[in-house]
């Protein structure tokens, strides 16, 4: 069952650059500083790549809201190869950094 996020919540947005592609990852947090939502925006890319990153963020959010750990989400991103694989690895690093900055634990799910 999905655990809803509070109406007002903390978030961190990080800019990532990979192969001259700028991306922004925003991580929203629960009151206990555990991640609960992820938004990924790609600057100056076609609609296909933008839509893909948007869907990856939505899927990650659903996983986090249903009790999966941040590390289980990140582990999947780090092992994607091909077009977008390097960018997703950098997004994974930014996600981990955001959780760390908020004092959350990447290995803890949202109970």
Q: If you average pLDDT over every residue of the chain, what do you get?
A: 86
The pLDDT value given to residue 111: 57
Calculate what percentage of the chain has a pLDDT beyond 90: 38
Report the C-alpha gap between 34 and 11 in whole angstroms.
Answer: 11
- pLDDT digit string (tens) for 47-97? 888 888 899 899 999 999 999 888 888 887 877 777 667 788 888 888 888
Beta strands 35-42 and 21-29, pairing class: antiparallel
Contacts of 93 (CB under 8 A, 6+ apart): none
What is residue 83's predicted lDDT score, i.e. its pLDDT?
A: 67
What does the buried/exposed string (b/e) look like for 73-97 if buried means 16 or more CB atoms within 10 Å of the residue's CB?
bbeebeeeeeebeebbbbbbbbbbe
Alpha-carbon torsion (5, 99, 12, 41), positive or negative: negative
- Res 45: pLDDT: 72
């Amino acid at each position: 069952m999905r655990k809803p996020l509070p109406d007002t919540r903390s978030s961190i947005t990080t800019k990532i650059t990979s192969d001259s592609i700028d991306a922004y990852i925003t991580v929203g947090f629960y009151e206990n500083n555990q991640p609960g939502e992820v938004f990924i925006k790609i600057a100056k890319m076609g609609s296909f790549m933008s839509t893909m990153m948007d869907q990856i963020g939505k899927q990650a959010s659903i996983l986090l809201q249903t009790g999966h750990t941040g590390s289980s989400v990140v582990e999947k991103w780090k092992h994607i190869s091909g077009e977008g694989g390097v960018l997703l690895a950098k997004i994974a690093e930014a996600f981990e950094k955001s959780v760390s900055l908020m004092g959350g634990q990447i290995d803890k799910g949202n109970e």
